[in-house]
């Protein structure tokens, strides 16, 4: 079924697992991600940036997500990731996105509350879910870099107040991860995450920059309340490497699908592996 973020995260909470949220960078990636979820018998969150949504077309993405959810009987969430522009958020919700993230993390605390609350109010018209962010995740997201000096962890007390005053369905937390990190792995502050988990009392928490998280740390952060696990860079990098090799290998009059299909197979394989980790099975 085509569902909301709050629905899949409620199941994740009950089962002490995380739901994988995978960024599609084009329309071709989307079916591969959903097929991986079908194979793993889990819900899946398809994420797009504002740029990808505009490039592919909001309604095109909604149509494919809904169609495949119905065809394969898998729960699919279509989520706008790291949106800062209210007009872009409104455009996605009006087109049928079932979830959005408003990223006001760079704003003063009160302004972040006000902006996030406005998005929650608009999203309620279509029963869509909303993710907020508190604290600052480092690295580069969709070409926009965050300086290390501007990175700061989520404060537990502020997290409680933020959740209560905005009405969000999930909270992205800053605990040491970085967007775009794929050549190395990050050192997570488990102590900070535990403090946040205890303060928010079971509220669904989100990790951004999931590509940079060590596999051995995945279970630990899930046990500490992470319910949505974002992965984007790993898919993009491996898509580009695989498709580049295919284009170099094949003649120019080879069908384009022969260059795209190998990249799709790699994407599906990565997503399946990540989902297995996120199930948090002993």
179-227 pLDDT, tens digit each:
444 444 566 778 888 999 999 999 999 998 767 677 888 899 999 999 9
Average pLDDT over residues 114-132: 96
Whether the Cβ atoms of residue 163 and residue 131 lie closer than 8 Å to each other: no
CATH architecture of 5-278: Alpha-Beta Barrel (3.20)
Instruction: Tell me how far apart the alpha carbons of residues 280 and 58 are, in angstroms, rounded to a whole number.
Output: 33
Q: What percent of the chain has pLDDT over 70?
A: 89
Instruction: Tell me how far apart the alpha carbons of residues 195 and 273 are, in angstroms, rounded to a whole number.
Output: 29
From the list 75, 81, 103, 169, the catalytic residue is 81
* Residue 208 phi, psi (nearest 5): -100, 155
Q: In what order do the strands lie in the sheet with 178-179?
A: 144-146, 138-141, 178-179
Region class of 16: left (phi > 0), else alpha (psi between -120 and 50), else beta: left
Whether the Cβ atoms of residue 83 and residue 89 lie closer than 8 Å to each other: yes
Structure confidence by residue, pLDDT tens digits, 29-84: 999 999 999 999 999 999 999 999 999 999 999 999 999 999 999 999 999 999 99
pLDDT of residue 147: 44
Q: Does position 107 have pLDDT exceeding 50, yes or no?
A: yes
Task: Give the range among 44-58, 69-83, 147-161, 232-246 with minimum mean pLDDT.
Answer: 147-161
Q: Does position 281 have pLDDT exceeding 50, yes or no?
A: yes
pTM flag (> 0.75):
yes
> Would you give the DSSP letter of residue 264?
H
Instruction: Tell me how far apart the alpha carbons of residues 170 and 91 are, in angstroms, rounded to a whole number.
Output: 21
Q: Does position 19 have pLDDT exceeding 60, yes or no?
A: yes
* Residue 134 phi, psi (nearest 5): -135, 130
Concerning whether 81 is annotated as a catalytic residue, the answer is: yes
pLDDT of residue 247: 79
Classify residue 108 as exposed, middle or buried by CB count within 10 Å of its CB (0-12, 13-18, 19+): exposed
Pairwise pLDDT comparison (277 vs 214), residue with the higher score: 277
Mean residue pLDDT across the chain? 88
Length of the chain: 282
Tokens, residue 77: 């969430």
User: Residue 201: helix, strand or coil by DSSP?
Assistant: coil
Instruction: Tell me how far apart the alpha carbons of residues 275 and 47 are, in angstroms, rounded to a whole number.
Output: 15
pLDDT of residue 141: 46
pLDDT of residue 151: 59
Per-residue burial over 178-207, b if 16 or more Cβ lie within 10 Å, else e, is bbbbbeeebebbeebbbbbbebbeebbbbb
pLDDT of residue 99: 98
Per-residue burial over 151-172, b if 16 or more Cβ lie within 10 Å, else e, is bebbbbebbbebbeebebbbbb
Q: Does position 138 have pLDDT exceeding 60, yes or no?
A: no
């Amino acid at each position: 079924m085509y569902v909301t973020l709050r629905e899949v995260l409620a199941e994740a909470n009950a089962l002490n697992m995380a739901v994988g949220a995978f960024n599609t960078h084009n329309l071709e990636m989307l079916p591969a991600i959903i097929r991986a979820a079908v194979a793993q018998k889990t819900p899946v969150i398809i994420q797009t940036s504002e740029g990808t949504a505009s490039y592919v077309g909001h309604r095109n993405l909604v149509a494919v997500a809904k169609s495949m959810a119905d065809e394969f009987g898998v729960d699919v969430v279509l989520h706008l990731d790291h949106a800062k522009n209210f007009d872009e958020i409104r455009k996605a919700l009006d087109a049928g996105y079932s979830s959005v993230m408003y990223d006001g993390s760079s704003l003063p605390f009160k302004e972040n509350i006000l902006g996030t609350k406005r998005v929650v109010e608009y999203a309620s018209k279509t029963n869509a879910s909303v993710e907020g962010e508190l604290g600052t995740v480092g690295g580069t997201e969709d070409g926009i870099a965050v300086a290390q000096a501007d990175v700061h962890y989520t404060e537990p007390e502020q997290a409680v107040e933020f959740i209560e005053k905005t009405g969000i369905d999930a909270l992205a937390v800053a605990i040491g991860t970085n967007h775009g990190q794929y050549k190395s792995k990050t050192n997570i502050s488990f102590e900070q995450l535990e403090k946040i988990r205890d303060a928010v009392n079971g509220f669904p928490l989100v990790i951004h920059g999931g590509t940079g998280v060590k596999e051995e740390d995945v279970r630990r952060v899930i046990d500490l309340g992470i319910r949505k696990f974002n992965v984007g860079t790993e898919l993009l990098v491996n898509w580009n490497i695989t498709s580049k090799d295919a284009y170099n290998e094949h003649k120019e009059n080879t069908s384009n699908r022969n260059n795209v299909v190998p990249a799709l197979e790699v994407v599906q394989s990565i997503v399946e592996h990540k989902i297995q980790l996120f199930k948090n099975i002993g």
